[in-house]
Amino acid sequence: MEIVLCVTGSIAATETIKLAREFRRHGIDVKCFMSDGACEIIHPYAMEFATGQKVITRLTGEVEHVKYATADMIIVAPATANVISKFVCKIADNPINTLLITASGHKTSVLMVPSMHNSMYKAVKSHIETLKGENISFLEPKIEEKKAKFPDIDDIVLHSMRELDNNKLKCKKVLVSAGATYEEIDKIRGITNRSSGKMGVEIAKEAFIRGADVTLIKGKMTADVPNIFSVIEVESVSQMRNAVCEHVKNHDIFISAAAVSDFIPKMEVMENKISSCEDISLKLERAPKIIGEVKKINPEIFLVGFKVEYGISRDKLIKSAMKRIEKHAIDLMVANDVAVEGAGFGKDKNQVILIDDDLIDIPLSSKREVATKIIDRVVEKI
């Protein structure tokens, strides 16, 4: 898969080195076109390093504007008022606009990522709407400090990969819960677990790439969450339960990746800090199983559960997961043993077994790769 990254003369051009590297981490080849203005901000050698390919700054007898016009996607990032305005009028007085006009004749997918002063962004709004009418995609900038700023790198990559995908989850509404819950003991202390939220966030990303409308119910986590998702923030088991029960009725798929506390304190939360001068006894009671309520609310939803164990055999892990499947009518279970070295809470990798009518072992892999396999299975089953 190949994209052409067109870099123009906005200060946000400095971010495109990281953007190109991130595309390559996802296995995408990147060819770069740079405007004269961009070359005054960053050197073409920097983009050559980032892409691993020679950068095009002028057109030659190799007719580069034709050669690369049929790439899988052309991304203009940053897209200045100048390049947007010229593209609307189909002015071809530089390599980037010449490429864009040629590509539009081929109906090649084009994504624009505007970055400029907010007053300029307002001035070219009508041009943007015109180009949208020509099936040119735009990623909204972050409006901050009177500027239309470059979006987060992760958001650009996700949006681009969604445009490139076959979108088998298009029109599907996917709800994902992720992260840990936290139960207060007093205003300072509480009970939680080691979940980082990484697995749930990677699953949400993959569902988004496949074309789904994704909502993330976010517990306590250290993982970064892309701005592109609709996010519902929760803390306690009761808040997580309320959010899940409210939203599953309107979704097609629910992926319950959150590490919800199994036990909660059986006590009134202290209004102040409990003194550390004496011992205290803390009684815990079992928390309600949120996943058990999902099919009662929405019998048609495709339900994905997670079963976590510690230090048990593969057979016992599967047997434990199967009991949960039968009890709560789960369509796909992701079972893992967090005692496996290099896997589990807080790690960047995981080793899991996917359980439905079949058993699919996924060896120790990055959580992004595991998320891909999980969503592959969801797509196959629905």
- Mean pLDDT along residues 268-286: 86
CATH topology of domain 173-381: Rossmann fold (3.40.50)
Tell me 342's DSSP state.
T
pLDDT greater than 80 at residue 270: no
Residues of the chain with CATH 3.40.50.1950: 2-164
The CATH number assigned to the domain with range 2-164 reads: 3.40.50.1950
Q: pTM score > 0.85 for this model?
A: yes
Residue whose tokens read 């992926």: 255
Encode pLDDT of 9-28 as tens digits.
999 999 999 999 999 999 99
Residue whose tokens read 């899940």: 244
Residues of the chain with CATH 3.40.50.10300: 173-381
Q: Distance between CA 17 and CA 322 in Å, rounded?
A: 47
- Mean pLDDT along residues 347-364: 95
Largest CA distance in the chain: 84
Torsion of CA 97, 162, 172, 305, to 10 degrees: -160
3-state secondary structure of 82: helix
- Please check whether residue 56 is in contact with residue 32, taking contact to mean a CB–CB distance below 8 angstroms: yes
Percent of the chain whose predicted confidence (pLDDT) is above 90 = 89
Amino acid (one-letter) located at 279: D
Q: Distance between CA 91 and CA 101 in Å, rounded?
A: 8
Please state, in angstroms and as integers, the Cα–Cα distance from residue 68 to each residue in 95, 99, 156, 275, following that order: 11, 8, 21, 69
Q: Distance between CA 256 and CA 297 in Å, rounded?
A: 15
